[in-house]
Amino acid sequence: MAQSGNQENRASRVSAAAHGDRYALAAEGANDALWDWDLKAGRVLYSPRWAAMLGLTAEALSATSEAWLGRVHPADIDALRRAIDALIGGGARRLEHEQRLRHADGTYRWMLARAVALRGADGIALRIAGSQTDVTDRHWQREQLEYDAFHDGLTGLSNRALFLDRLGQAVAMARRRHAQGCAVLALGVDRFKLVNDSLGHAAGDEFLSVLARRLEGCLRDGDTLARVGGDEFAILTEQADGLDQVMAIAERANAILATPIVLDEQDIFASVGIGIAVATPRLRNPEDLLRDAFLALYRAKAMGTGRVEMFDQGLHARAVKRLKLESDLRHALERDEIDAHYQPIVALDTGRIVGFEALARWTHGERGSVSPAEFIPPAEETGLIVQIGRKVLTTAARQLVAWQRAGLAAPEMMINVNVSAKQFSQSDLAGEIRDILAATGLAPARLKLELTESVLMENPELAQSILEKVRQMGVRLCVDDFGTGYSSLSYLHRFPIDSLKIERSFIARIAERQSERTLIKTIVDLGQALDLEVVAEGIETHEQRRQLLALKCRLGQGYLFAKPMPGEEVGALLAKVRSGASLFPPENPPLTVTAITA
Ligand code: C2E
Ligand code: MG
Ligand code: MG
């Protein structure tokens, strides 16, 4: 319909053009209004439609140019006058101009005026005449689109693009004035995921809206607040002449959550972490400044909740190094540079090897061996741990089966493999384990997964459901680094656990400190009461071994017996101990280490 109307319009315009300008303009379309300005007489005729468009009656409209120009928005009047002058003077052949006109209801409407001039023989304009179209809707849509492109739909705050634009202007201005410049505060809600997961996304959205309003209350005139990510906000404060001012904003932002946010009649106590980056006199581009503020924020979050951290160059250097490590790690997986080493777990009294812990090893092309302490944390953050975990598990399972087949390991020897939190949330862990066991031929009961307390507590429901499945297959479970994490022991009942591995730092201090011995004794008793196997980690001296035995801890691993070593070396060791050789430096009386073999 609209299309055929347009076609008609176009057709009438074309044919009318032959009849002269006046008719052409008259035929512009029923929706348009017409006007005709006699320049000599100074009279303007307006069509009834022109008056109606502005909520007026034809009678209420005087036949003067003032009836039009007097209604134009002050911001638009100069440009309109210039356009009219250009048409009259002959500088422009046509007038085509949009301006806001005041409606009878007091609001402004966007009008498009189009006109031509009718000239005498001498070329002097006698009349100008044209049409007027209401283009308010189109304007509104365009403004809305522009607004949407630069604002966050949920909170109505500026978005990242607008923030970066403002930041760019602030940096440029400071550079011109050689002034101190500006600072960026990056804010992130601590544990926002918890709000979202426990109360649902609608509540999460409401939380963010309330937070946005509260943050607005922390600003000074001229500061810009933006939502730049899911639960991430940024504040730009200009002319930050002293750090004190910036810190004052940070403190206010920190304090606004002292009063809980009420959602679904529940008080939500939350906190924000804040990272600050200050523009330096060196040229800084806005993206860098925002990134630096976020690097500081991530450090603040890593250090706890409700923290404020300043960016420094060291942080940048570390981030660059980390990025390089990540990309190297991806390559390492492609090039198969990740392997497993094995450390024996032994009976502390007889030295008999009861199993091995598989530990990931990365042999880097240039750097040689890279410690898991260095590459496991970034692998966890990036999710690469899922692939690493799969690789270590497969390698270790295959290795134990090979030792069993070679007659080096008894059927009851165990292999322990470490599992990270991400492997629970980002993969079908139970399914993967089942597949790997099937592919390698390892009996489920020979595999033990090592999980830290934080892995169990990060998402207890998920961990519980997966671990129950895994345990049902017959796979065993061990809490690693026991004693360092949550003080609540309730989870020991909740999860189907078989063993506890006492954190290495307790063993290191066992000889000197009674408190450490008491703690270890408590863990051993707890294990006994709950029917859990207890293993000591990081045993380096005979003294530690003896103390542990005295505390009735019967299993352990550590450099005293063997360091983690490649599979081939373990094969040789297993062959050696089978013939009665000792695993560790001779003691008086010597202790014999044996392996359980078929
Ligand atoms: P963890 O699971 O607690 O492993 C024990 C760590 O203690 C190993 O460090 C081992 O080499 C070290 N260790 C063993 N005996 C002694 C000793 O007598 N003295 C001292 N000072 N240290 C000893 P490693 O191999 O550097 O691994 C560090 C951590 O990295 C592991 O701690 C584990 O949390 C993680 N990790 C290693 N491999 C993997 C893996 O395949 N997957 C996952 N998710 N994490 C892994
Ligand atoms: Mg471990
Ligand atoms: Mg450990």
Stretch 106-120: mean pLDDT:
95
Asked if pLDDT for residue 11 goes beyond 50, the answer is no
What residues flank ligand 1, with Cβ below 6 Å?
343, 359-360, 371-373, 376, 385, 389, 392, 418-420, 450, 480-481, 504, 537-540, 557-559, 564
Asked if pLDDT for residue 281 goes beyond 80, the answer is no
Closest to 286 (Cα-Cα) out of 180, 158, 175, 165: 165
Instruction: Supply the residue whose CA is at minimum distance from atom 19 of ligand 1.
Output: 538
Residues 6+ apart with CB under 8 A from 460: 491, 494
419 CA to centre of ligand 2 in angstroms: 8
Q: Residue 442 in 3-state DSSP?
A: coil
CATH number of 151-311: 3.30.70.270
174: pLDDT confidence band, cut at 50, 70 and 90? confident
Task: Say what the pLDDT of residue 483 is.
Answer: 85
Task: Locate the ligand 1 atom nearest the alpha carbon of residue 560 and give its number.
Answer: 18
The environment of the single-atom ion ligand 3, i.e. residues with CB closer than 5 A, is 480-481, 537
Residue 535 near residue 555, CB atoms below 8 Å: yes
Task: Say what the pLDDT of residue 180 is.
Answer: 63
Instruction: Supply the residue whose CA is at minimum distance from atom 33 of ligand 1.
Output: 418
Task: Locate the ligand 1 atom nearest the alpha carbon of residue 359 and give its number.
Answer: 38
Burial of 417-448, coded b for 16+ CB within 10 Å and e otherwise, reads bbbbbbbbeebebbebbbebbeebebebebbb
Residues of the chain with CATH 3.30.450.20: 11-141
Residues 6+ apart with CB under 8 A from 143: none
Mutate to test the pocket of ligand 1, among 337, 348, 376 (most ligand atoms within 8 A of CB): 376
336 CA to centre of ligand 3 in angstroms: 25
Cα four-point dihedral sign 296, 299, 301, 304: negative
For the segment(s) 336-578, the CATH number from 3.20.20.450, 3.40.50.2020, 3.40.50.970, 3.40.630.30 is: 3.20.20.450
Asked if pLDDT for residue 590 goes beyond 70, the answer is no
- Residue 488 gets which letter from DSSP? -
CA distance 308 to 293: 11
- pLDDT tens digits for 175-224? 777 666 789 999 999 888 888 888 888 999 999 999 999 999 988 888 99
Instruction: Supply the residue whose CA is at minimum distance from atom 6 of ligand 1.
Output: 538
CA distance 555 to 559: 14
Residues 6+ apart with CB under 8 A from 241: 179, 180
- Ligand having the closest approach to the CA of 448: 2
Closest to 293 (Cα-Cα) out of 253, 328, 261, 255: 253
Stretch 566-583: mean pLDDT:
84
Task: Locate the ligand 1 atom nearest the alpha carbon of residue 419 and give its number.
Answer: 44
461: pLDDT confidence band, cut at 50, 70 and 90? confident
**435 compared with 457, residue with greater pLDDT:** 435
Asked if pLDDT for residue 467 goes beyond 70, the answer is yes
- pLDDT tens digits for 504-550? 999 999 988 888 899 999 999 999 988 999 999 999 999 999 999 99
- pLDDT tens digits for 155-168? 999 999 999 999 99
Residues of the chain with CATH 3.20.20.450: 336-578
What's the fold here for domain 11-141?
Beta-Lactamase (3.30.450)
191 CA to centre of ligand 3 in angstroms: 26
Task: Say what the pLDDT of residue 594 is.
Answer: 61
- pLDDT tens digits for 290-349? 999 999 999 998 888 889 998 987 777 877 888 888 889 999 999 999 999 999 999 999
Task: Locate the ligand 1 atom nearest the alpha carbon of residue 379 and give its number.
Answer: 44
Stretch 29-40: mean pLDDT:
85
173 CA to centre of ligand 2 in angstroms: 55
Residues of the chain with CATH 3.30.70.270: 151-311
